[in-house]
Amino acid sequence: MILQGMMAGDLRPLSREVGGGITIPQTSTINGFYLRRVGGPNGINPFRSRTYFVIDEPSVFDRRVSSHEVGHMLGLHHVLGDAGRLLFSGTNGMALTEDEATVARYFARGILQGLR
């Protein structure tokens, strides 16, 4: 239910679960929240926002899940066929290609300049 709401852009189920409103800090920041559960995956970056959610006990390294979700915020998409890559779902892969690093830098610059 929480995951379905977040994917639809509705944070009310999440807000009810945590016992009240969620205040997101400045829009130029990246916001991470760690929850007991989100109703499915290890983490989620709903509707390509600058906010991500990671479950307390993911099936892979938690720092990797956080990095994966931040990667989505920085314009990176899931990859197939290489479990060693950060954007391959459900693994402990941490590698980025040179092209992915370039895209991430471009998106980060846009966030810092208030363009994204």
- Structural domain harbouring 28: 2-112
Q: Are 2 and 14 in contact (CB under 8 A)?
A: yes
Is the torsion defined by CA of 53, 55, 56, 58 positive or negative? negative
Q: Rg of the chain over CA atoms, in angstroms?
A: 14
pTM: 0.76
CATH number where 90 lies: 3.40.390.10
Q: How many domains does the chain have?
A: 1
Residue closest to 67 by CA, chosen among 37, 83, 82, 89 = 89
Q: Are 73 and 55 in contact (CB under 8 A)?
A: no
pLDDT of 45: 80
* 43-101 confidence digits (pLDDT tens): 888 767 778 888 878 888 888 999 999 999 999 999 999 999 999 999 999 999 999 99
